[in-house]
Amino acid sequence: MSSTNTPHSPAHHTSTIGAIGAPSRRNTELALLVFAVVIPVFAYANVGLAINDEVPAGLLSYGLGLGLLAGVGHLVVRKFAPYADPLLLPLATLLNGLGLVAIWRLDQSELLQSIKQAGTAAPRQLLYTAMGIALFIAVVIFLKDHRVLQRYTYISMVGALFLLLLPLVPGLGQNIYGAKIWISVAGFSIQPGEFAKIVLAVFFAGYLMVKRDALALASRRFMGLYLPRGRDLGPILVVWAISILILVFETDLGTSLLFFGMFVIMLYVATERTSWIVFGLLMSAAGAVGVASFEPHIQQRVDAWLDPMREYTLSRANQVGHSEQAMQALWAFGSGGTLGTGWGQGHSDLIRFAANSDFILATFGEELGLAGVMALLLLYALIAERGVRTALAARDPFGKLLAIGLSGAFALQVFVVAGGVMGLIPLTGMTMPFLAYGGSSVIANWALIGILLRISDTARRPAPAPAANPDAEMTQVVRPS
């Protein structure tokens, strides 16, 4: 036996295998952002030509403003989150831009101006958009690792409950059209529930990551379902009770559905138990039916859903407590047909005070038709899909649960708003993300996109190459003599 240290031996050429360099896709994002700005600018010009037979004077400033905001967002992502998902920012920009166009279109309505519901909404929404993108930038820059949020699991729970209870504080909370979901600060109305959904997602992700094994245990099988153990039903009962209390005291069906639905989605993903979905649906239905039986505001929304024409007739007869918007929204969708009446050529301003907020989807349904609404829903579905893809790619369980929670909350909000306006489910009073007028919604949803981008950057970032082993060069290759 002889030992040799051959210069051409495999040991001498030992080298570290670097990570496969994943493309950052930032140029793809930039190209998509160009389209995401050009399409709303084209729509803006279309509205001006339809209403005033001329290109609107503010076209250039609107295009530059939206383009500048999107460009700054892109540069920040390029520097601080180079491997983030390339579709999320363009999709959010496109939806936000189209929402600004629809709000400006309703601002031109003499009817809405006469009741002081329009005229200055679009400039304010552009300001809210700038604030939202500023928060988005802050999230991308300062949240260097989403796993830091895991440290604040129980603080998040306290913060979320604080936000949800704020509208019930006397002198601070406001009752607007029957729902106590607003607070008034310095002349601005803020909806704390929009921010609470993000904070709740952090709490649920941290809690379920620790408790998922216990919650996944089943005690018995019934009708093909593995039933959870009795003592593990505690968390879902607590969350269910809180959502019912929100429904009772704030008469807010939307936040209650969103809150409980997000928890059930994350619970199912964490445990892979279908039984939790079934329990969640049954408890949600039982709670909603129970509250609707004695809460007049919820009962009114159920009545408007079951027989919108009757509600419209009673409202026209000046009977207080009845609403005409549900029927008007259905008429707007019907008059739009397949391809719509065209930008600026509809009459959805007849819906009055809710035209640019709760029922803005009816404006798109009338002026862009079924094709336009399907395109919008596809954009929303793409955001949810990219969020789920981010969850699948995340390397840590907290990141997976947080991404699926945020994506689920976003998709659920789109479903309950669109379903309510289209007559599929009772109206909830929530706002369509990015499209509807409202500062709380647009700011909170930009923060949501920022967190998803941060998680996707961590998930897609190539693993660092292992450090070279200095002993590799000294390895003795033993060969038989």
- Statement: residue 40 has pLDDT above 50: yes
pLDDT value for 245? 79
- 215 is in which domain, residue-wise? 148-464
pLDDT value for 376? 96
In this predicted model, what pLDDT tens digit does every residue of 347-368 receive, in sequence order? 888 887 777 888 899 999 999 9
- Integer angstrom CA distances of residue 207 from 51, 125, 221: 53, 36, 26
Q: Please give the share of the chain, as a percent, with pLDDT higher than 70.
A: 85
- Statement: residue 224 has pLDDT above 80: no
3-17, 199-213, 380-394, 413-427: range with lowest mean pLDDT: 3-17
Q: Count of domains in the chain?
A: 1
Most confident of 285-289, 318-322, 370-374: 370-374
pLDDT value for 19? 42
Q: Is residue 307 included in any domain, yes or no?
A: yes
- Statement: residue 9 has pLDDT above 60: no
- Statement: residue 228 has pLDDT above 90: no
- Statement: residue 279 has pLDDT above 60: yes
Q: Is residue 39 included in any domain, yes or no?
A: no
pLDDT value for 22? 62
Phi, psi for residue 128 in degrees, rounded to 5: -65, -35
pLDDT value for 132? 95
Residue owning tokens 């419209």:
312
26-40, 140-154, 263-277, 355-369: range with lowest mean pLDDT: 263-277
Mention every residue, 6+ apart, whose C-beta is less than 8 A from residue 287.
240, 243, 244, 247, 256, 260
Q: Is residue 50 included in any domain, yes or no?
A: no
pLDDT value for 187? 67
Q: Is residue 188 included in any domain, yes or no?
A: yes
Cα–Cα distance between 434 and 447 in angstroms, integer?
12
- Statement: residue 369 has pLDDT above 50: yes
63-67, 126-130, 153-157, 174-178: range with lowest mean pLDDT: 174-178
pLDDT value for 71? 96
Higher local confidence (pLDDT), 352 or 338: 338
pLDDT classification of 126: cutoffs 50, 70, 90:
very high
- Statement: residue 221 has pLDDT above 80: no
Q: Is residue 72 included in any domain, yes or no?
A: no
pLDDT classification of 439: cutoffs 50, 70, 90:
confident
Nearest to 91 by CA among 344, 382, 443, 334: 382
- Statement: residue 165 has pLDDT above 80: yes
Q: Is residue 110 included in any domain, yes or no?
A: no
- Statement: residue 256 has pLDDT above 90: no
pLDDT value for 125? 92
Q: Is residue 387 included in any domain, yes or no?
A: yes
- Statement: residue 15 has pLDDT above 50: no
Q: What is the mean pLDDT of residues 448-463?
A: 92
Higher local confidence (pLDDT), 280 or 71: 71
Q: What is the mean pLDDT of residues 319-332?
A: 82
pLDDT value for 233? 67
In this predicted model, what pLDDT tens digit does every residue of 237-248 receive, in sequence order? 777 788 777 777
Assigned token pair, 3 = 């030992």
- What secondary structure, in 3-state letters, does the chain show? CEEECCCCCCCCCCCCCCCCCCCCCHHHHHHHHHHHHHHHHHHHHHHHHHHHCCCCCCHHHHHHHHHHHHHHHHHHHHHHCCCCCCCHHHHHHHHHHHHHHHHHHHHCCHHHHHCCCCCCHHHHHHHHHHHHHHHHHHHHHHCCCHHHHHHHHHHHHHHHHHHHHHHHCCCCEEEECCEEEEEEECCEEECHHHHHHHHHHHHHHHHHHHHHHHHHCEEEEECCEEEECHHHHHHHHHHHHHHHHHHHHHCCHHHHHHHHHHHHHHHHHHHCCHHHHHHHHHHHHHHHHHHHCCCHHHHHHHHHHHCHHHHHHHHHCCCCCCCCHHHHHHHHHHHHCCCCCCCCCCCHHHHHHHCCCCCHHHHHHHHCHHHHHHHHHHHHHHHHHHHHHHHHHCCCHHHHHHHHHHHHHHHHHHHHHHHHHHCCCCCCCCCCCCCCCCHHHHHHHHHHHHHHHHHHHHHHCCCCCCCCCHHHHHCCEEECC
Average predicted confidence (pLDDT) for the chain = 83
- Statement: residue 78 has pLDDT above 90: yes
Q: What is the mean pLDDT of residues 398-416?
A: 94
- Statement: residue 36 has pLDDT above 80: yes
pLDDT value for 378? 97
- Statement: residue 278 has pLDDT above 90: no
Mention every residue, 6+ apart, whose C-beta is less than 8 A from residue 407.
383, 384, 387, 388, 390, 391, 452
Count CB atoms within 10 A of the CB of residue 52.
Answer: 12
Q: What is the mean pLDDT of residues 175-201?
A: 77
- Statement: residue 189 has pLDDT above 80: no
pLDDT value for 178? 59
Cα–Cα distance between 364 and 351 in angstroms, integer?
13
